[in-house]
Amino acid sequence: MSVRKLVPMNDMLADAEEGGYAVGAFNVTDLTGIQAVVQAAEEERSPVIVQMYTRGTDPTPARYMVAMAAIAAESANVPVALHLDHGRDLESVETCVKAGFSSVMIDGSKLPLAENIEVTLKAVEIAHAAGISAEAELGKIGSGAEVLSTDDRAKSLTDPEEARRFVQETGVDALAVAIGSAHGLYKFKPNLDLDLLKEIRKVAKTRLVLHGGSDLPRDQIQSAIGLGITKVNVATDLAGAYTKALREFVASNDGIIWPGRISSAVQEAMKELVRDRIILFGSSGMAD
Protein backbone atom coordinates (compact mmCIF):
# COMPACT_ATOMS: atom_id res chain seq x y z
CA MET A 1 0.00 0.00 0.00
CA SER A 2 1.37 3.40 -0.94
CA VAL A 3 1.89 6.03 1.73
CA ARG A 4 -0.68 8.79 1.55
CA LYS A 5 0.55 12.35 1.57
CA LEU A 6 -1.31 15.55 2.30
CA VAL A 7 -3.39 16.16 -0.82
CA PRO A 8 -4.05 19.48 -2.59
CA MET A 9 -7.47 20.77 -1.58
CA ASN A 10 -8.41 21.31 -5.22
CA ASP A 11 -8.62 17.58 -5.95
CA MET A 12 -11.07 17.13 -3.08
CA LEU A 13 -13.21 20.07 -4.10
CA ALA A 14 -13.37 18.87 -7.71
CA ASP A 15 -14.75 15.54 -6.49
CA ALA A 16 -17.15 17.35 -4.15
CA GLU A 17 -18.45 19.49 -6.99
CA GLU A 18 -19.08 16.43 -9.08
CA GLY A 19 -20.67 14.54 -6.22
CA GLY A 20 -22.84 17.41 -4.95
CA TYR A 21 -21.45 17.48 -1.42
CA ALA A 22 -19.07 19.69 0.58
CA VAL A 23 -15.84 18.86 2.36
CA GLY A 24 -15.60 20.08 5.95
CA ALA A 25 -12.63 22.26 6.85
CA PHE A 26 -12.01 22.11 10.58
CA ASN A 27 -9.82 24.56 12.49
CA VAL A 28 -7.46 22.98 14.97
CA THR A 29 -4.62 24.25 17.11
CA ASP A 30 -2.94 21.10 18.38
CA LEU A 31 -2.39 17.36 18.09
CA THR A 32 -5.61 16.58 19.95
CA GLY A 33 -7.52 18.52 17.31
CA ILE A 34 -5.72 16.96 14.34
CA GLN A 35 -6.29 13.45 15.65
CA ALA A 36 -9.95 14.15 16.38
CA VAL A 37 -10.59 15.50 12.88
CA VAL A 38 -8.70 12.77 11.02
CA GLN A 39 -10.17 9.93 13.12
CA ALA A 40 -13.68 11.28 12.53
CA ALA A 41 -13.00 11.41 8.78
CA GLU A 42 -11.71 7.82 8.83
CA GLU A 43 -14.74 6.60 10.72
CA GLU A 44 -17.02 8.35 8.21
CA ARG A 45 -14.91 7.37 5.17
CA SER A 46 -14.77 11.04 4.21
CA PRO A 47 -12.13 13.36 2.74
CA VAL A 48 -11.25 16.11 5.20
CA ILE A 49 -9.46 19.45 5.43
CA VAL A 50 -7.48 20.27 8.55
CA GLN A 51 -7.14 24.04 8.89
CA MET A 52 -4.91 26.28 10.89
CA TYR A 53 -5.16 29.98 11.49
CA THR A 54 -1.84 31.48 12.43
CA ARG A 55 -0.80 34.90 13.65
CA GLY A 56 2.74 36.21 13.59
CA THR A 57 5.69 35.41 11.37
CA ASP A 58 7.36 32.65 13.38
CA PRO A 59 7.33 29.60 11.05
CA THR A 60 7.59 27.14 13.96
CA PRO A 61 3.84 26.56 14.53
CA ALA A 62 3.34 25.93 10.81
CA ARG A 63 6.19 23.39 10.74
CA TYR A 64 4.82 21.53 13.76
CA MET A 65 1.40 21.46 12.14
CA VAL A 66 2.76 20.03 8.89
CA ALA A 67 4.72 17.33 10.71
CA MET A 68 1.67 16.24 12.70
CA ALA A 69 -0.77 16.45 9.79
CA ALA A 70 1.65 14.56 7.50
CA ILE A 71 1.77 11.67 9.97
CA ALA A 72 -2.03 11.74 10.23
CA ALA A 73 -2.34 11.72 6.43
CA GLU A 74 0.14 8.84 6.05
CA SER A 75 -1.68 6.64 8.50
CA ALA A 76 -5.21 7.63 7.47
CA ASN A 77 -7.16 5.69 4.87
CA VAL A 78 -8.92 8.84 3.63
CA PRO A 79 -7.57 11.97 1.85
CA VAL A 80 -6.37 14.72 4.20
CA ALA A 81 -5.47 18.30 3.20
CA LEU A 82 -3.73 20.86 5.41
CA HIS A 83 -4.92 24.39 4.74
CA LEU A 84 -3.92 27.84 5.99
CA ASP A 85 -7.10 29.68 6.98
CA HIS A 86 -7.23 33.46 6.38
CA GLY A 87 -3.57 34.00 5.48
CA ARG A 88 -3.16 37.68 6.26
CA ASP A 89 -0.34 38.49 3.83
CA LEU A 90 2.01 36.95 1.27
CA GLU A 91 4.62 36.34 3.95
CA SER A 92 2.24 34.06 5.89
CA VAL A 93 1.32 32.30 2.67
CA GLU A 94 4.97 31.74 1.79
CA THR A 95 5.77 30.51 5.28
CA CYS A 96 3.05 27.86 5.10
CA VAL A 97 3.85 26.84 1.53
CA LYS A 98 7.51 26.37 2.49
CA ALA A 99 6.52 24.45 5.62
CA GLY A 100 4.55 21.96 3.47
CA PHE A 101 0.86 22.94 3.66
CA SER A 102 -1.17 21.46 0.81
CA SER A 103 -3.38 24.53 0.46
CA VAL A 104 -3.36 28.18 1.51
CA MET A 105 -5.83 31.04 1.78
CA ILE A 106 -4.94 34.66 1.18
CA ASP A 107 -7.44 37.07 2.69
CA GLY A 108 -7.34 40.38 0.87
CA SER A 109 -11.05 41.02 1.45
CA LYS A 110 -10.43 44.25 3.35
CA LEU A 111 -8.51 45.71 0.39
CA PRO A 112 -10.02 47.54 -2.58
CA LEU A 113 -10.87 45.13 -5.43
CA ALA A 114 -7.79 45.86 -7.57
CA GLU A 115 -5.45 45.30 -4.61
CA ASN A 116 -7.27 42.15 -3.55
CA ILE A 117 -6.84 40.84 -7.11
CA GLU A 118 -3.16 41.77 -7.07
CA VAL A 119 -2.31 40.07 -3.78
CA THR A 120 -4.44 37.02 -4.62
CA LEU A 121 -2.76 36.61 -7.99
CA LYS A 122 0.63 36.55 -6.26
CA ALA A 123 -0.59 34.04 -3.68
CA VAL A 124 -1.99 31.83 -6.45
CA GLU A 125 1.38 31.94 -8.24
CA ILE A 126 3.23 30.97 -5.06
CA ALA A 127 0.78 28.13 -4.35
CA HIS A 128 0.68 26.78 -7.88
CA ALA A 129 4.50 26.89 -8.18
CA ALA A 130 4.54 24.51 -5.21
CA GLY A 131 1.80 22.32 -6.72
CA ILE A 132 -0.81 23.23 -4.12
CA SER A 133 -4.16 25.08 -4.06
CA ALA A 134 -5.13 28.65 -3.16
CA GLU A 135 -8.33 30.13 -1.73
CA ALA A 136 -9.23 33.82 -1.52
CA GLU A 137 -12.09 35.93 -0.18
CA LEU A 138 -14.25 38.48 -1.96
CA GLY A 139 -16.83 40.53 -0.10
CA LYS A 140 -16.59 40.79 3.67
CA ILE A 141 -17.75 37.77 5.65
CA GLY A 142 -17.20 39.59 8.96
CA SER A 143 -18.09 38.61 12.51
CA GLY A 144 -21.40 37.29 13.87
CA ALA A 145 -20.93 39.61 16.84
CA GLU A 146 -21.26 42.64 14.55
CA VAL A 147 -24.86 43.60 13.98
CA LEU A 148 -24.84 45.63 10.76
CA SER A 149 -27.58 47.82 9.32
CA THR A 150 -29.42 46.32 6.34
CA ASP A 151 -27.50 48.68 4.10
CA ASP A 152 -24.07 47.82 5.48
CA ARG A 153 -24.93 44.13 5.41
CA ALA A 154 -25.86 44.41 1.73
CA LYS A 155 -22.63 46.26 0.95
CA SER A 156 -20.55 43.54 2.60
CA LEU A 157 -21.96 40.78 0.34
CA THR A 158 -20.06 39.43 -2.68
CA ASP A 159 -20.95 41.10 -5.96
CA PRO A 160 -21.39 38.48 -8.74
CA GLU A 161 -19.79 40.61 -11.46
CA GLU A 162 -16.80 41.35 -9.22
CA ALA A 163 -16.56 37.63 -8.44
CA ARG A 164 -16.52 36.77 -12.15
CA ARG A 165 -13.71 39.25 -12.78
CA PHE A 166 -11.80 38.27 -9.63
CA VAL A 167 -11.75 34.58 -10.55
CA GLN A 168 -10.91 35.24 -14.18
CA GLU A 169 -7.99 37.52 -13.30
CA THR A 170 -6.53 35.50 -10.43
CA GLY A 171 -7.20 31.88 -11.43
CA VAL A 172 -7.90 31.17 -7.76
CA ASP A 173 -8.87 27.55 -6.98
CA ALA A 174 -11.55 28.36 -4.41
CA LEU A 175 -13.40 31.50 -3.39
CA ALA A 176 -14.88 32.33 0.02
CA VAL A 177 -18.07 34.25 -0.65
CA ALA A 178 -19.99 36.64 1.59
CA ILE A 179 -23.62 35.51 1.26
CA GLY A 180 -24.90 36.28 4.76
CA SER A 181 -22.87 33.98 7.01
CA ALA A 182 -20.37 35.36 9.54
CA HIS A 183 -17.59 34.14 11.81
CA GLY A 184 -18.20 33.11 15.41
CA LEU A 185 -21.55 32.98 17.19
CA TYR A 186 -24.40 35.04 15.76
CA LYS A 187 -25.91 38.00 17.57
CA PHE A 188 -28.40 38.26 14.72
CA LYS A 189 -30.48 35.68 12.89
CA PRO A 190 -28.39 34.53 9.92
CA ASN A 191 -30.19 34.19 6.64
CA LEU A 192 -28.10 33.05 3.69
CA ASP A 193 -28.84 34.82 0.43
CA LEU A 194 -29.28 31.73 -1.72
CA ASP A 195 -30.29 33.70 -4.81
CA LEU A 196 -27.02 35.59 -4.59
CA LEU A 197 -25.14 32.29 -4.27
CA LYS A 198 -26.87 31.06 -7.45
CA GLU A 199 -25.84 34.24 -9.28
CA ILE A 200 -22.22 33.95 -8.18
CA ARG A 201 -22.12 30.27 -9.05
CA LYS A 202 -23.33 31.00 -12.58
CA VAL A 203 -20.54 33.46 -13.38
CA ALA A 204 -17.55 32.69 -11.14
CA LYS A 205 -15.64 29.75 -12.58
CA THR A 206 -14.17 28.38 -9.39
CA ARG A 207 -15.20 26.39 -6.34
CA LEU A 208 -17.14 28.25 -3.68
CA VAL A 209 -16.48 28.17 0.05
CA LEU A 210 -18.83 28.89 2.95
CA HIS A 211 -17.10 30.47 5.93
CA GLY A 212 -18.91 30.93 9.24
CA GLY A 213 -20.29 27.38 9.15
CA SER A 214 -20.71 27.34 12.95
CA ASP A 215 -23.97 28.31 14.64
CA LEU A 216 -25.71 28.37 11.26
CA PRO A 217 -29.07 26.57 10.76
CA ARG A 218 -28.49 23.10 9.34
CA ASP A 219 -31.08 23.48 6.57
CA GLN A 220 -29.36 26.66 5.34
CA ILE A 221 -26.01 24.88 5.17
CA GLN A 222 -27.58 22.03 3.20
CA SER A 223 -29.32 24.43 0.81
CA ALA A 224 -26.01 26.20 0.17
CA ILE A 225 -24.30 22.87 -0.54
CA GLY A 226 -27.16 22.00 -2.92
CA LEU A 227 -26.37 25.21 -4.79
CA GLY A 228 -22.69 24.44 -5.24
CA ILE A 229 -20.78 25.20 -2.02
CA THR A 230 -17.98 22.58 -1.91
CA LYS A 231 -16.14 23.55 1.31
CA VAL A 232 -17.63 24.52 4.65
CA ASN A 233 -15.43 26.01 7.38
CA VAL A 234 -16.05 25.04 10.99
CA ALA A 235 -14.00 26.77 13.68
CA THR A 236 -16.19 28.13 16.49
CA ASP A 237 -18.36 25.02 16.97
CA LEU A 238 -15.27 22.83 17.20
CA ALA A 239 -13.59 25.22 19.64
CA GLY A 240 -16.82 25.15 21.66
CA ALA A 241 -16.81 21.33 21.77
CA TYR A 242 -13.17 21.39 22.94
CA THR A 243 -13.77 23.88 25.73
CA LYS A 244 -17.06 22.35 26.92
CA ALA A 245 -15.51 18.86 27.15
CA LEU A 246 -12.47 20.25 28.97
CA ARG A 247 -14.60 22.12 31.53
CA GLU A 248 -16.92 19.17 32.13
CA PHE A 249 -14.13 16.63 32.49
CA VAL A 250 -12.17 18.76 34.94
CA ALA A 251 -15.28 19.63 36.95
CA SER A 252 -16.43 16.02 37.32
CA ASN A 253 -13.03 14.34 37.79
CA ASP A 254 -11.57 16.22 40.69
CA GLY A 255 -8.74 13.79 41.42
CA ILE A 256 -7.44 13.50 37.86
CA ILE A 257 -4.49 15.68 37.00
CA TRP A 258 -3.12 13.81 33.97
CA PRO A 259 -3.26 15.92 30.79
CA GLY A 260 -3.46 12.75 28.66
CA ARG A 261 -6.76 11.76 30.32
CA ILE A 262 -8.13 15.25 29.81
CA SER A 263 -7.11 15.41 26.16
CA SER A 264 -8.67 11.99 25.48
CA ALA A 265 -12.02 13.33 26.71
CA VAL A 266 -11.58 16.48 24.65
CA GLN A 267 -10.60 14.51 21.55
CA GLU A 268 -13.66 12.27 21.83
CA ALA A 269 -16.00 15.30 22.03
CA MET A 270 -14.33 17.00 19.06
CA LYS A 271 -14.51 13.78 17.05
CA GLU A 272 -18.27 13.49 17.61
CA LEU A 273 -18.80 17.08 16.46
CA VAL A 274 -16.72 16.52 13.32
CA ARG A 275 -18.56 13.28 12.50
CA ASP A 276 -21.87 15.09 12.80
CA ARG A 277 -20.75 17.84 10.41
CA ILE A 278 -19.29 15.35 7.92
CA ILE A 279 -22.69 13.65 7.75
CA LEU A 280 -24.44 17.04 7.45
CA PHE A 281 -22.18 18.13 4.59
CA GLY A 282 -22.83 14.88 2.69
CA SER A 283 -19.19 13.79 2.45
CA SER A 284 -19.64 10.63 4.51
CA GLY A 285 -18.60 7.60 2.43
CA MET A 286 -17.05 9.78 -0.30
CA ALA A 287 -13.38 8.90 0.33
CA ASP A 288 -11.63 6.92 -2.39
Query: Interface residues with Zn ion (CB under 5 A)?
Result: 211
Least separation in angstroms between CB 210 and Zn ion: 9
Least separation in angstroms between CB 233 and Zn ion: 5
Least separation in angstroms between CB 85 and Zn ion: 6
Residue in 11, 30, 58, 85 annotated catalytic: 85
CB 272 within 8 A of CB 39: no
For residues 204 and 209, which CB has a smaller minimum distance to Zn ion in the complex?
209
Classify burial at 156, counting beta carbons within 10 Å of its beta carbon; exposed 0-12, middle 13-18, buried 19 or more.
middle
For residues 201 and 211, which CB has a smaller minimum distance to Zn ion in the complex?
211
Residue 275 falls in which region: left (phi positive, over 0), alpha (psi -120 to 50) or beta: alpha
Q: Report the b/e string of 99-119 with b at 16+ CB within 10 A.
A: bbbbbbbbbbbeeeeeebbeb
Least separation in angstroms between CB 250 and Zn ion: 30
For residues 207 and 211, which CB has a smaller minimum distance to Zn ion in the complex?
211
Query: Residue by residue, what is the 3-state secondary structure of the chain?
Result: CCCCCCCCHHHHHHHHHHHCCCEEEEECCCHHHHHHHHHHHHHHCCCEEEEECCCCCCCHHHHHHHHHHHHHHHHCCCCEEEEEEEECCHHHHHHHHHHCCCEEEECCCCCCHHHHHHHHHHHHHHHHHCCCEEEEEECCCCECCCCCCHHHHHHHCCCHHHHHHHHHHHCCCEEEECCCCCECCCCCCCCCCHHHHHHHHHHCCCEEEECCCCCCCHHHHHHHHHCCEEEEEECHHHHHHHHHHHHHHHHHCCCCCCHHHHHHHHHHHHHHHHHHHHHHHCCCCCCC
Least separation in angstroms between CB 256 and Zn ion: 35
For residues 34 and 182, which CB has a smaller minimum distance to Zn ion in the complex?
182
Least separation in angstroms between CB 174 and Zn ion: 12
254 catalytic residue (yes or no): no
CB nearest Zn ion: which residue?
Answer: 211
Q: Catalytic amino acids?
A: 85
